[in-house]
Structure 1
Amino acid sequence: MTTLIVTNGPIYTSDPERPWAEAFSVEDGRIGTVGTLDEVRSSVTADAGVVDLNGRFAMPGLVDVHAHLGLGGRQLAFELQVLPSDDVAAIAAKVRQWRAELEPGQWVVGGIVGSTVMDDLTHQDLLTLDDAAEGHPVLLRDDTMHNRWVNSAAFEILGITEGSPNPEGGTYVRDSDGLLNGVLTELACSAAEAAVLESIGDVANFHARAIGTAVQTLNSFGVTAVQESATMDYALTTLRVLDEAGELTAHVVASMPAQPFLEEGITGEELYRVGDANHTAHLHPTFAKYVLDGVPMTRTAALLTPYQCHHPGDDPTFTGEPLWGREELVASLLSLADRGLSAKLHATGDGAVRLILDAVETVRRERGWKTKFHIAHVEYVHDDDLARFAELQVVPDASPYLWFPSVMQESMAKQVSAETFERSWPLRRLIDSGAQVSCGSDWPCAAPTPDPWTGLATLITRANPDPAVTGELNPGEALSVEQAISAFTRNPAHAMGLGEVTGMLRPGMSADFIVLDRNLFSADPAHLHETTVLTTYFEGRLVHQT
């Protein structure tokens, strides 16, 4: 590999021991010397190349602690693009245009449908989707990725009728007249996703193109490390093959589902063994994925206080049900710790968050501190539980993309109590208590791309980048620029077990760095979402250039 000197612009290292540097060197894919230009020049050979920043801002490559590469890559490479702001008529028009290019009987697959649309779909809307599809089966994912909207042709393939009982762990949603509206929630989605995959001829090439597209897209936004947050066996195999071919241009930490999830396939111990067989230089199958509850929009999140009621016959004391009991969760996490794996645990309700913290407290007492625990997505955390994250060394995995410009907040506000909603995403207080807040996109949830700059900007502003959408979300929890950058660099790297590998520009670490069109510290926070990545380097190799 070429020896390089990077200089002639502000360099932010994200290293608390030396936050700023005049230059740094790259040798054999690693960071060499970091310091003044004279120090760096004297440490390398005379024929070293120079990356001239021309006054541009350089920093470490970003680390996305929560993304779904298979789903996100498929959406970009193959699928119909639907915006969360599209209403039923706009969605139907896009389906009609898309299916005109398909072979007879081919699935129309796409997303993302906004939660505000999913909230109010009726049987008539299902008929509208049928009319647009003209016999093609349709599967559209919502902005949480926990739910799907399908049409009657898909129901026929799946064997679902008006008389079908709900499957375990999911729902075939019906409108106020008791008729199917096409919405599938939670585990009801897995059979539909499996049916789509069964219709694809060369599925191995399909997965390779999807995941390859996902990694290239992450690089284009400056991301050089990512935690894949629901990693099935096909993704493990595909990532290994890409890495062995020299085409995996990011560090990837895999999170393997502990129990059946939204995609059909092996889970738990059987899947962990596949992970064992697929470790590579850049693929690290070191986490298991747990799902403790659903999402507030469908009233499947486990809360500490009752949901607001909007339908006749609703139970006014209903708080949602966790998917794990405490003793069952403790036993599973103890077994996981003994196996040497860590855990990423989905919990959108404050009740589910407390359940996890209680379980982790037992695991810490009985197994110590080696195992890493993440709670995603920390929308709602009770004040009494904030300090427990740092006390128990539990990582708050936050997805600021889910605030703005997503329509999710509007849907959540209809469901959770005002008191709970108003204390949402308490990230500043988590940081003040010593917690290692780490951010990710949760792509393709909420947004069509894993653009980190919208997320980073909203950490600082707590406001929608679109000036037409006024107001702020719990503005007292706003972060500083330095705190926001830490949440996208060294914090998630450490949380993922890569703290000695990436996330900082420090001697000996991977030469993962990016060059931007603006200095994040001097730019107007209201325009940080417009940041453009000019170049991305992974292990000292240029992998993206605007």
Structure 2
Amino acid sequence: MTGTAHPDTLFLGGRIWTQDPDRPWAQALAATGGRITAVGDDADLGGTAGPATRVVDRGGRFGVPGLVDGHIHLNLGGSQSRWELPVSPDADLDGVLAAVRDWARDLPQDAWVVGGIVNSGVLAAADADASVVARLDEAAGGRPVLLRDVSMHNRWVSTAALQAMGLDRTSADPEGGHLGRTPDGSLSGVLEEMASALAEEAFARAVPDPAARTLGSLEEAVRVANSFGITSVQDAATTPAPVEALRTLEDEGRLTLRVVTSAPVRPFLEASVVGDELVAELRRHRSELVRPDFVKVVLDGVPMTRTTALLAPYRCHHHHDEPEYGELYWQQDELVEQVAHCYDLGIGAKFHATGDASVRAVLDAVETVRAERGPGPRFQIAHTEYVDPADLPRFAALGVVADASPYIWYPGVVQDAVAGEITEELLAASWPVRDLVESGAVVAAGSDWPCVLPTPDPWTGLQTLVTRRNVDPAVPGTLNPGQAVDVATALTAFTSAPAEAAGLGEEAGRLRPGFSADLAVLDRNLFEVPVEEIHRTVVLQTWFRGELAHEEVGERVPQEVG
């Protein structure tokens, strides 16, 4: 023991997977001052309790390190969970309109209807027929509506919202974005990429107390994350207001989550300062739990809108005369400058690069700067959906993390939308996780919440890493099944790997002496249950720095997906 003869807290009574290569399994943990002081068996540590030691008997339950979500949007996710209209991504147009109608029924006439998640087929229907946005207007009773799609890159809005944005059929596309139009040239309400920022800004202007809303959203995000055993996260695109709210929670002793932030270097969907000004502002808020250690660089869009940058062209559609490859938002020399600037700032970078062309651009830029300046900041590529085989070994060689999102790669509504745009060959080779792991790359899983699923549920993502199937047995098929990994590798992607990727590798993601006493107590042993049951896992307790952050009360029905 270190620091005292008796630990503050002693965890006994159940098997623990520690993710410590020196001792992968244990029964007991001792912690003092929020840090683990000893790991061992009940017989070894049970006698170390003193009169003031809190002894936690887990009743034979299985334990794992507090999970680390390597890619999450806390403010958006918490806002959606606490304030907004929930829509299933499986809902068709009629289902979305019914949800809007029910939600709007009791709202004031000038209130916005905000929510999601809407699938790409609904947006495509709006673009195809001018009557669709009129149906949205009717469902909302003429109110402004803002609905987010599964990728969070695109929006669908009502006529009243378009008016609040100052847009009409004569409006030009904003830089980096696109205004959807029906065949007669009228606005469909579909907003792609940076056009979505116009809607978010209009809605933000209508919020009477933005600070209170943001604080409430972050409270909810922390609660939801803890309920799934998550104790550390990397926020994927961070602006000052959420960081201020996080610091308020920390100062009040209510922040039970370690947060690494990512500051956008260019405008990205939310109104905010960006670049060096934002980096400086976030650094001003640095604290023990809030770590402003990354920037966010967006290189391309998403496959559903053909804005992902690919090496080979998209599928031919009758309304496209020339092959389409998507578009890189950065010139290569600009990207090299940005990587070098990260060295100058001493800050890491999370690169949004969803296509094999954008992935290669990042790797080329990092290789150029690493060759000149040697090892330096941490770099991550999100989301490594499509990687040319020649580029796979470069992740490990260059020390670049593969930031993967297993929540969106199994057969289902998202992959159905993607399959309509890219070639069968590219789809079949997607998400090459096993190859990346076997090459020595760090593969860090992240939920990308609130994209696709209504919660940052890690167990659905973990199961699909192993099965490459939808957790709903009614949805057929597998996606690139040769890239499946085992349970231990999948758990690593949710614990020590994202911790290392975010710069938390010496304090989170493992249960070993000196590390934070972050522990998730589960209702089942993930190594003993059938793999197909992992998504039904319930977190009974979450401990953060040796203190109880979440306890399941009553019986929670596991989230079903499909």
TM-score normalised to structure 1 length? 0.98
How far did residue 176 of structure 1 move? 3.7
In the aligned structure 2, how far is the partner of 1:13 from the partner of 1:379? 29
Decide whether the 8 Å contact of 2:12 with 2:46 is kept in 1.
no
Match of 1:51 among 48, 53, 56: 56
Aligned runs of 1:212-227 on 2, under 5 Å? 212-227=219-234
Which among 246, 258, 261 is matched to residue 253 of structure 2?
Answer: 246
Gapped regions of structure 1 (runs ≥ 5): none
The structure 2 residue matched to 1:475, chosen from 465, 476, 481, is 481
Instruction: Within 5 Å, give how 1:438-517 maps onto structure 2.
Output: 438-517=444-523
Partner of 2:19: 14
User: Which residue matches 2:557?
Assistant: none
Determine the structure 2 residue equivalent to 1:338.
344
1:130 aligns with 2:176: no
Equivalent-residue separation in structure 2 for 1:202 and 1:308 (angstroms): 46
2:558 aligned partner: none
Match among 152, 171, 180 for residue 178 of structure 2: 171
Give the CA deviation at 1:310: 1.7
Query: Residue in 2 aligned with 1:91?
Result: 96
Rounded Cα–Cα distance in structure 1 between residues aligned with 2:324 and 2:141 = 40
| Alignment check: 8 A CA contact 1:26 1:540 kept | yes
Distance in 1 separating the partners of 2:319 and 2:27: 65
Q: What are the within-5 Å matches in structure 2 for residues 111-260 of structure 1?
A: 111-121=116-126, 122-260=129-267
| CA contact 1:464–1:470 (8 Å) conserved in 2 | yes
What does the per-residue CA deviation read over 1:399-434, in whole Å, with 9 as the maximum and x for residues that have no partner?
001124751100111111111111000000000000
Change (3 A) 1:406 1:249: farther
343, 352, 359: which one pairs with 2:358?
352
1:285 is paired with a residue whose SS is: strand
Give the aligned residue type for 1:37: D
Contact 1:138 1:151 (8 Å CA) reproduced: yes
- Conserved 8 A contact 1:13-1:60: yes
Aligned length: 545
In structure 2, give the amino acid aligned to 1:159.
G
User: What is the aligned counterpart of 2:28 among 16, 23, 29?
Assistant: 23
Task: Give the drift of 1:528.
Answer: 0.5
Conserved 8 A contact 1:66-1:229: yes
State the 1:8 CA deviation: 1.6
1:534 and 2:533 matched: no
**Aligned equivalents of 2:410, 2:440: Cα separation in 1:** 26
Deviations 1:85-139 (A, max 9, x none): 1111111111111112211211110000012322332322111101111220000
Separation in 2, partners of 1:394, 1:438: 11
Q: Hey, what's the Cα distance between the residues in 2 that align with 1:174 and 1:265?
A: 28
Deviates more, 1:424-433 or 1:31-40: 31-40
Aligned partner of 1:422 in structure 2 is 428
SS at match of 1:536: strand
Q: Deviations over 1:355-378 (max 9, x none)?
A: 000001012112222200000010
Cα offset, 1:43, TM superposition: 4.6
The match for 1:410 among 413, 416, 420 is 416
SS class of match (1:120) = helix
Residue 483 of structure 1: CA displacement? 0.1
Query: How large is the Cα RMSD of the aligned pairs?
Result: 1.3
**Counterpart residue type for residue 170 of structure 1:** G
Shift in Å, 1:50: 1.8
Q: Do 1:63 and 1:489's aligned partners in 2 also have CA atoms closer than 8 Å?
A: yes
SS at match of 1:253: strand
Residue of structure 1 in register with 2:305 after alignment: 298
Structure 2 distance, partners of 1:361, 1:250, is 34
Q: TM-score, normalised by structure 2?
A: 0.95
Deviation at 1:37, TM superposition (A): 2.3
Could you tell me which of 104, 113, 121 is aligned with 1:108? Answer: 113
- Tell me the amino acid that sits aligned with residue 269 of structure 2: L
Identify unmatched segments of 5+ residues in structure 2: 1-5, 553-562
Looking at structure 1, the residues matched to 36 and 412 of structure 2 have their Cα atoms a distance apart, in angstroms, of 37
